[in-house]
A and B are shown apart, each in its own frame.
Chain A
Amino acid sequence: MSEFKLTTVEEFEAATARLLETGAKVGADAWQFRVKNQTPHCKFGEEGVCCRICTMGPCRITKKAPRGICGCDVHGIVGRNYLKFTAGGSATHSDHGREICHTLYESAADGCYKVKDPDKLIRIAKEWGIETEGKDIYDLAHEVAETGLMEYGKPFGTQRFLKRAPESQQELWEKNELAPRAIDREVSCSLHMSHMGCSSKPEALVKQAIRAGLSDGWGGSMMGTEFSDVLFGTPKPIETEANLGVMVEDNVNIVVHGHDPSLSEMICEFADDPEMIAYAKEQGAKGITVSGVCCTSNEVAMRRGIPMAGNFLQQENVVLTGACEAIVVDVQCIFPALGPLSKCFHTKFITTSPIAQMPDSEFIRFDAHTAGEKAKLIVRTAIENFKNRKPELVHIPQMKQKATVGYSTEAIVKALDGVTNSQVDELGTTKPLLECITSGVLRGAVAMVGCNNPRVRPDLAHIELMKKLVANDIIIIASGCSAQAAAKAGLMDKRAKDVCGAGLKRVCELADIPPVLHMGSCVDISRMLVLAATLAKDAGLHISQLPVVGCAPEWMSEKAVSIGNYVIGSGIDTFLGVDPYACGSSEMVEILTNGTKEWVEAAFTVEKDIEKLGDAMIAKIEEKRAALGI
């Protein structure tokens, strides 16, 4: 076996630089150049003090002009911007969750989509009080899907999944009017509140931001995750690889990018089809390789071990290899730049969702009824494009790492069962993890999530923070682009135990896990909520008492803010490496970094210095331990 070594960010960057040389040859634009064009950014926007929600504005707050035309002060403006930002994120995840509900509704024994995990479906049905006895599994699927869909717009009550939280958190939500009602209602209520002449009181705006966030985390995202598992299987540990080197030069390369597994799952299905492989060979290729970018990549990696080509800021690199026959996208985090970029190469940029339509793309409308034929058409289109490659432009950086992924909450509990002793322990609980934490073998856990952002040297914060945390015996659960950064670096290789402190190393050896556990896509952060809730219940503590924190060091999207809100809303202190356009208001800063503790027992810390951000997380974890006397 060759020596194990983590890949460094310098090596990533050297590979990117080489790809940009190809880009220069064909006159391609890239985010690296666009960032330069946009720098310096507008300070009013950065601080969140610019308002353009009515046409009396745009207004911006300065010392000389402390109020907008309507009289709104800086705190109200920053607060409204913050709420709108959250609503955007919540809407996005929730619409994704809704699509999955629809897919579940369309599932049929002889259809494109089937129920792969009936046990999980039955579990959810029981949890929701739906009669399961003697029912055809598809009838049950439709009933559960319909009940789920009602969660988006039901006129009364709050989200069903809230019951999964420990009582203490539910009480806080009730008491502070934070319990999310219908998902869409929270989004539209947010937009209502942030309209001109409605709320301008920061407390009210932040509270609604938390409620809208919670409707995502314990609503839209959670349904997205749960029903994706029902349809495509609950992830189990599986081997895969990460980084651009997973693309295979001799093969037709199809890259799936976006979020919804309904599309990527189907593409993978057909790329495996012998008929399609034969067709690819006919066209001069040796086979078909599907790899992924961003969250849809995480989805198919978790369930099928499909390799991960890269994360958010690597999406252009995929095309720059000159070896990408098709980049197939659905929704969210897709650079519109991919259209013009693909035109510089033979690559087909295929959009599939009416939600995300872009110029310079080929639109193949994808829906649950015609999923099979559409996926087949997409794969065919990619295969037929193989011959159009320009060999002189082909360069795939030979850089990849092995990763073990697939750590759903269920899989984590299973791994923990592996270290129990049948003479003394019960199975199926998080107790072994709690024992490791209580004894001090593990100091705590950090949920690393979020995007890349050119404001932070891409992947550096993710990787450096993870290295620091694991060296301090803090186990990492990761999702989204953070998880991919870890995988690219090699931190999801089980051999990465050797970069850990003695405690985490021993845990990795005994439980046979890597130190960074890939829990999935961004909607799968709901898995982390379930895990935290289970830990708290098994320990008899509030979630906020657990030595667990969240961290999004390179976050960029509105979704990340929605996530941040529901994570603190669930009692988990959250550390951000990028400011959420809030620093322009002292009151907003105070509420977000301190005031929310009163409502949800957690708050944000914003720190742009990575070293300090890591120290602050460790300090917080030790503070929580000290409070528990462990």
Chain B
Amino acid sequence: MTLFETVFSGNDAVYGLTEGAINAAIEQHGADKAVSFPNTAYCLPCYYAVTGVKVKTLGELKEALGVVKTLMTREMRLNDVFMSGVATALCAEFIEVLKYIDGAEPYTEPCYGHLADAVIRELGVPLVTGDIPGVAVILGSAPTKEEAVALVKSYQAQGILVTLVGGVIDQVAEAGMKTGANLRVIPLGKDVTSVIHVVSVALRAALIFGNVTPGDAANLMKYTFERVPAFVNAFAPLDDVIVACGAGAIALGFPVITNQEGVSTVPKSLILQPDVAKFNATSLEARDIKIKITNIDIPVAFASAFEGEIIRRG
């Protein structure tokens, strides 16, 4: 299968799941049932950013899925792949929002799931000033938990905001690593769809700080490409769904670095780095991130990430 076909297939799979989930939810709750994420003024932020439409009920969600379907064109052109990637992301957002029906709290410690607008405003300023030089999205399970921890710590030491999705969350937990927004290591969720919560951060940042008009998809993607220094580290094995999500990331300008052998690489966008120890350097170079902080030779990792750490006695 070619890279493009893989993306299309992953997108089709996610679309099928989404459609099923929305139909089932309507059956259960009725079309007028309200859907929303907590603590955001942007409804379904990704869908709102891309289309300018605020979705508030399950019925509207179903309509929105029809719009998403129109993004899933199937020419063998990068535009189609990008849009398919965006469609995959939007489907993920739909699946995620269903988890929050009736004020449910689907995510428990250490996972965050959806992030509130307040968190974005708080992180947005250091992102714009460069105090947070980058955003790492780590997805899947590292070959060993030691490698997982080493990678996360390496970013943390550089002041990079780290978000975790999937097996890596358990890996760092098992290793006893502390996580949390105050430490700038944010476990999102174990399902791959929870990756949307970091995309949601990037897109809300574009709306809040970039003054992008909701629905102006072209400028939205331009803003994230030029201004949001995010990148993805996706561990092998990659399935079609992850590759489809990756296409969405690349569409927004975020390179994907993976250790999956045999992947069809794309310069500056989809990079094969078999050695996880080199993920950090490879990612920073791919996203043109220059670290301002010089390494200070002290026995604990030193960076602004630790400013928020609560020093406990003992």
Question: Is B285's CB within 8 Å of the partner chain A?
Answer: yes
**B77 at the A interface (CB under 8 A):** yes
Interface: A424 (CB within 8 A): yes
Which residues from chain A contact B270 at a C-beta distance below 8 Å? 439
- Pick from B81, B264, B269, B272: contact of A438, CB below 8 A: B264
A329 to B137, CA, bound (A): 61
* A37 CB–B CB distance under 8 Å: no
Chain B residues within an 8 Å CB radius of A423? 273, 278, 281-282, 285
- Smallest beta-carbon distance A582→chain B, Å: 34
Interface residue? A248 (CB, 8 A): no
B2 neighbours in A (Cβ, 8 Å): 440, 629-630
List chain A residues, Cβ under 8 A from B211. none
CB distance from A181 to the nearest CB of B (A): 41
**A473/B268 in contact, CB under 8 A:** no
Given contacts A502-B82, A503-B78, contact A441 B268 (CB under 8 A): no
A432 at the interface (CB under 8 A from B): yes
B76 and A421 contact, CB distance less than 8 A: no
Write out, one digit per residue, whether chain A residues 433-461 have a CB within 8 A of any chain B CB (1) or not (0): 00110111101000000000000000000
Name the contact of B286 in the complex, choosing from A421, A438, A503 (C-beta under 8 A): A421
The reply to whether A443 and B267 form a contact with Cβ atoms under 8 Å apart is no
Q: Which residue of A lies closest to B278 (CB)?
A: A423
If A421-B282, A423-B278, A440-B3 touch, whether A501 touches B268 (CB-CB below 8 Å) is no
A616 at the interface (CB under 8 A from B): no
Report the Cα distance A436→B78, complex, angstroms: 11
**B78 contacts A441, C-beta separation under 8 Å:** yes
| The residue from A436, A503, A510 contacting B77, defined by CB atoms under 8 A apart | A503
B271 interfacial by beta-carbon distance below 8 Å:
yes
Q: Are A622 and B269 in contact (CB under 8 A)?
A: no
Once bound together, how far apart are the Cα atoms of A422 and B268, in whole Å?
A: 11
CB under 8 Å from chain B, chain A span 458-503:
472-473, 501-503
Chain A residue with Cβ nearest B274 = A424
B76 touches A439 (CB 8 A): no
Against B, the Cβ 8 Å flags (1 = close, 0 = not) of A412-426 are: 000010011111110
Quick check: is A201 within 8 A (CB to CB) of the other chain? no
B282 near A506 with CB under 8 A, answer no
Distance, CA A630 to CA B4, complexed state (A): 9
Let me know if B285 and A506 touch, CB within 8 A: no
Contact check, B77 vs A473: say whether CB atoms are below 8 A apart.
yes
Q: What residue in chain B is nearest A472 (Cβ atoms)?
A: B77
What is the bound-complex CA distance between A419 and B268, given in angstroms? 6
Interface residues of B in 26-47 (CB under 8 A from A): none
A622, B76: Cβ atoms under 8 Å? yes
Least CB distance, A625 to chain B, in whole angstroms: 8
> Are A435 and B285 touching (Cβ within 8 A)?
no
The A-contacting residues of B in range 262-311, CB under 8 angstroms, are 264-273, 278, 281-282, 285-286
* B79 lies within 8 A of chain A by Cβ: yes
User: Are B282 and A424 interface neighbours, CB within 8 A?
Assistant: yes
Given A423-B281, A424-B282, do A439 and B271 touch, yes or no (CB 8 Å)? Answer: no
CB 8 Å contact bits of B70-93 with A (1 = contact, 0 = none): 000000111101100000000000
CA distance A588 to B272 in the complex (A): 49
Size class of the contact patch on chain B: 20 to 34
A501 near B79 with CB under 8 A, answer yes
Asked if B282 contacts A439 (CB within 8 A), the reply is no
Instruction: Please give, as numbers and ranges, the residues of chain A lying within 8 Å of B269 by CB-CB distance.
Output: 441, 506, 510
Expressed in whole angstroms, the minimum distance between the Cβ of A139 and any Cβ of chain B is 42
**What residue in chain A is nearest B284 (Cβ atoms)?**
A423
* Separation of A519 and B4 alpha carbons in the complex (Å): 31
Contact A502 B267 (CB under 8 A): no
A370 to B272 Cα, complex, angstroms: 58
Q: Is the Cβ of A419 less than 8 Å from the Cβ of B267?
A: yes
Cα–Cα distance between A422 and B272 once the two chains are bound (Å): 12
Do A502 and B268 form a contact, CB below 8 Å, given A421-B282, A423-B278, A423-B281?
A: no
Who on chain B is nearest to A422 by CB?
B285
Residues on the B chain within 8 Å of A472, using CB: 77
Q: Are A432 and B267 in contact (CB under 8 A)?
A: yes
B79 in contact with A502 (CB, 8 Å): yes
Complex Cα–Cα for A303 and B282 (A): 35
Of chain B, the residue at the smallest CB distance from A502 is B79
Asked if residues A440 and B76 are in contact (CB atoms below 8 Å), the reply is yes
Q: How far is the CA of A27 from the CA of B272 in the complex (A)?
A: 68
Question: Which B residues are in CB contact (< 8 Å) with A435?
Answer: 264-267
| Chain B min CB distance to A438 (Å) | 6
A424 and B271 CA atoms in complex are apart in Å by 8
Other-chain contact of B4, A416, A425, A436, A440 (Cβ < 8 Å): A440
| B78/A501 in contact, CB under 8 A | yes
In Å, the complex CA distance between A439 and B1 comes to 11
| Chain B, range 213-263, C-beta contacts under 8 Å to A | 225
Which of A419, A420, A441, A473 counts the most chain B CB atoms within 10 A?
A441
On whether A439 and B265 interact (CB within 8 A), knowing A421-B285, A423-B273, the answer reads: yes
Do B278 and A439 touch (CB < 8 A)? no
User: If A440-B78, A473-B77, A502-B77 touch, does A424 touch B266 (CB 8 Å cutoff)?
Assistant: no
Return the contact of A421 from the options B82, B264, B271 (Cβ within 8 A).
B271
Q: Report the nearest A residue to B279, measured CB to CB.
A: A423
* Measured CA separation A114–B286 after assembly (Å): 41
Contacts of B81 in A (CB 8 A): 440
Q: B76, A443: Cβ atoms under 8 Å?
A: yes
User: Of all chain B residues, which has the CB nearest A431?
Assistant: B267
In angstroms, Cα B282 to Cα A436, docked, is 19
Q: Are B272 and A424 in contact (CB under 8 A)?
A: yes
The residue in A419, A439, A472, A502 that gathers the most chain B C-beta atoms within 10 A of its C-beta is A439
Q: Which of A324-360 contact B (CB under 8 A)?
A: none
Please tell me if the beta carbons of A439 and B273 are within 8 angstroms of each other in the complex: no
B2, B4, B272, B273: which has the most chain A beta carbons within 10 Å? B2
Q: Are A510 and B78 closer than 8 Å at their CB atoms?
A: no
Cβ distance B4 to chain A, nearest Cβ, rounded Å: 5
Interface set, chain B 120-164, CB cutoff 8 A to A: none
B126 to chain A, nearest CB (A): 26
In the complex, the answer to whether A501 meets B77 with C-beta atoms within 8 Å is yes
How far does the alpha carbon of A473 sit from the alpha carbon of B267 in the complex, in Å? 16
Query: Within the complex, which residue of B78, B272, B278 is in contact with A506, where a contact is CB–CB below 8 Å?
Result: B78
With A and B bound together, what is the CA distance between A436 and B79 in angstroms? Answer: 14
CB closest chain-B residue, reference A438? B264
Interface flags for B160-179 (1: CB within 8 Å of A; 0: not) read 00000000000000000000
Q: Tell whether, in the assembled complex, residue A421 and residue B268 are in contact, meaning their CB atoms are under 8 Å apart.
A: yes
Docked complex Cα distance between A472 and B264 (Å): 20
- Provide the residues of chain A in CB contact with B266, threshold 8 Å: 435-436, 439, 441
Residues of A within 8 A of B273 (CB): 421, 423-424
Query: Residues of A contacting B286 with CB < 8 Å?
Result: 421
Residues of A within 8 A of B82 (CB): 502
B272 closest partner in A (C-beta): A424
Q: In the complex the two chains form, what is the Cα distance from A231 to B239 in whole Å? A: 54
A419 to B265, CA, bound (A): 12
How far is A419 from B82 in the complex, measured between Cα atoms in Å? 20
Shortest distance from the beta carbon of A24 to any chain B beta carbon, whole Å: 47
A-contacting residues of B (Cβ < 8 Å)? 2-4, 76-79, 81-82, 225, 264-273, 278, 281-282, 285-286
8 contacts between A and B (CB under 8 A): A419-B268, A435-B266, A439-B3, A439-B264, A439-B270, A472-B77, A501-B78, A502-B82
Closest 4 CB pairs of A and B: A503-B78, A502-B79, A419-B267, A423-B282
